[in-house]
Amino acid sequence: MRAASLPRNSWVDHALHTPDARRRRHRAIGCLLSLNAAAIGAPAFVSAAAPAPPPRESPEVVATRLRDAALAGHTLAYEWVGELTTRFGPRPAGSTNEHQAAEWAAARFRELGFENVAVQSFPVTAWVRGTESGEITSPSVQPLVIAALGESPPTPLAGLEGEVALFPSFDALKAAPPGSLAGKVAMVTRRMVRTQDGAGYGAAVVARADGPGEAERRGALAFLVRSVGTDSHRLAHTGATRYVGGRVPVPSFALSNPDADQIERLASLGKPVRVRLFSSASYVQDARSQNVIAEVRGRERPEEIVLLGAHMDSWDQGTGAIDDGTGMAIIVAAAKLIRDVPHRPRRTVRVVLFGSEEVTQPAPPGGAFGGHAYVDGHRSELSTHVLAGESDTGADRVYRVGLPQAVLASDFARTALRVLMPVGVIGAAYPPTEAGTDVGPSVEAGVPPFTLSQDASRYFEIHHTADDTLDKIDRAQLDQNVAAWAALVWLAADSDVDFRARPGTAPQEPLR
């Protein structure tokens, strides 16, 4: 998961308002499909073309069975993230590891029986951490645990040194007069607040993204930010920064929370605190990243697409297990459960493993990272994308489902909640305005988003650190995610519901 996108208006404002598909009545009764939960994933249960398929059951019955099969321990999700993170480790955008992992994923999709498997390549400016170090040089010499922020330029070879100027918030930094930080290292000490829905991240991350520019504008040599994370380990949380005029302004680093504490305490003793910082970060201008695309092709209206996204690239210090190995694992495992229903869903389920989600680019978005590349490469299909969702907040349980305004009070929502409530998922009172960074450009182009919100209470202890490794995954919660995704995506893909808001339709009272 990357820095929260800038606030957007409701997706309604961005909708393309393509001609509405006529709403068709639910045709569940009399269908001929059936689904034997005990047989999910078993060889006998693979092909819709098998002779004499069992009688078809209602979408709700199928969704319930998919849910329960996942809950019973659908091993594919953990296998996917385990094998991916073990074989390839960190997968920075544009790296060999990211490329090799994408090839592996495409091959695995084919083995699993997905269709139209494709790798969409696109150019990026890659960023390479190199080596880095930090220390307090006065009033005593102490090592610091730091991590260069993404895209941060290197320091001079000899490093750079300066007195730290502390600001309790990003606003306080912005209130500092021009030139007031000449020769200094600007540091924002604001603590991230732990919240279930991850809102504490959005509130704190702006300092990380825009701090380098604001620091340089006031003459600072470098920028430090207290890690945007809720843990107290000596691990710094990296993350993207913003290019300003084609470059990231000054060398910029996250400090681990205990190191930020230490600098605050030292400063409170009344003596100047000086730090020395070094980074040999570099850029690769001609790198390429890629999206890996695979489908469960719909049986009736294959051109109508339910888009599921997660991202393949990761930060470089961990192995990208919860960001976003588990996101991939969840949507792949959910789609595989759907793929193995004897009769495919009416619509197509398209899974996209996006490249280059974590990094910003020197040029404004539009072909830069995977989400934009996807829109650029699939623009003609976007009007028949019926729904888009993304999994990118780790593996802890889904607790809330967000559905588009058009269906908030519909039979579809009622059915979805009947299936999801038994696994601890409640309905969001308001429609989502976005679903994540990867499907963001698609949503901006008018595709209605849905959300399956995960408990983020623990996520930001690990997010963007070296600690993002396989052992942090709670397998029972991972399975609950697969259950929620498989059930909801099946319901959407096997329906003819129009999720796009129609202009002039009065907002409906949401289900509570």
Binding site for its own copies (CB under 8 A): 82, 86-90, 96-97, 100, 131, 133, 136, 139-143, 145, 232-235, 257-258, 261-262, 265-266, 269, 316-319, 465-467, 469-472
Minimum distance, C-beta of residue 163 to its own copies, in the bound complex (Å): 18
Numbers of helices and strands, H then E, in the chain: 12, 16
Sign of CA dihedral 485, 487, 488, 490: positive
For residue 137, give the H/E element and its range: strand 132-138
- DSSP structure string for 67-130: HHHHHTT-HHHHHHHHHHHHHH----TTSHHHHHHHHHHHHHHHHTT-EEEEEEEEEEEEEE--
The one-character DSSP state at 500 is: S
Q: Which is nearer to its own copies, 234 or 418 (CB)?
A: 234
Q: Which is nearer to its own copies, 351 or 466 (CB)?
A: 466
Spatial separation of the C-alpha atoms in residues 429 and 511, rounded to whole Å:
7
Minimum distance, C-beta of residue 262 to its own copies, in the bound complex (Å): 6
Cis peptide before 324 (omega within 30 of 0): yes
Q: Which is nearer to its own copies, 398 or 466 (CB)?
A: 466
Sign of CA dihedral 369, 78, 34, 39: positive
Q: Which is nearer to its own copies, 91 or 208 (CB)?
A: 91
Spatial separation of the C-alpha atoms in residues 348 and 297, rounded to whole Å:
4
Residues 6+ apart with CB under 8 A from 66: 35, 40, 334, 337, 338, 341, 483, 486, 487, 490
The one-character DSSP state at 150 is: B
Minimum distance, C-beta of residue 140 to its own copies, in the bound complex (Å): 6
Minimum distance, C-beta of residue 281 to its own copies, in the bound complex (Å): 15
Spatial separation of the C-alpha atoms in residues 502 and 73, rounded to whole Å:
40
Minimum distance, C-beta of residue 75 to its own copies, in the bound complex (Å): 16
Q: Which is nearer to its own copies, 131 or 505 (CB)?
A: 131
- The 3-state DSSP class for residue 330 equals helix
Q: Which is nearer to its own copies, 236 or 406 (CB)?
A: 236
Minimum distance, C-beta of residue 269 to its own copies, in the bound complex (Å): 7
Minimum distance, C-beta of residue 70 to its own copies, in the bound complex (Å): 24
Sign of CA dihedral 475, 481, 487, 490: negative
Q: Which is nearer to its own copies, 96 or 116 (CB)?
A: 96
Q: Please, what is the Cα angle at 487 between 485 and 492, to 5 degrees? A: 90
Minimum distance, C-beta of residue 483 to its own copies, in the bound complex (Å): 26
Minimum distance, C-beta of residue 366 to its own copies, in the bound complex (Å): 32
Q: Which is nearer to its own copies, 145 or 296 (CB)?
A: 145
Q: Please, what is the Cα angle at 439 between 435 and 441, to 5 degrees? A: 110
Q: Which is nearer to its own copies, 190 or 385 (CB)?
A: 190
Q: Which is nearer to its own copies, 151 or 316 (CB)?
A: 316
CB 49 within 8 A of CB 19: no
Spatial separation of the C-alpha atoms in residues 295 and 495, rounded to whole Å:
17
Minimum distance, C-beta of residue 251 to its own copies, in the bound complex (Å): 19
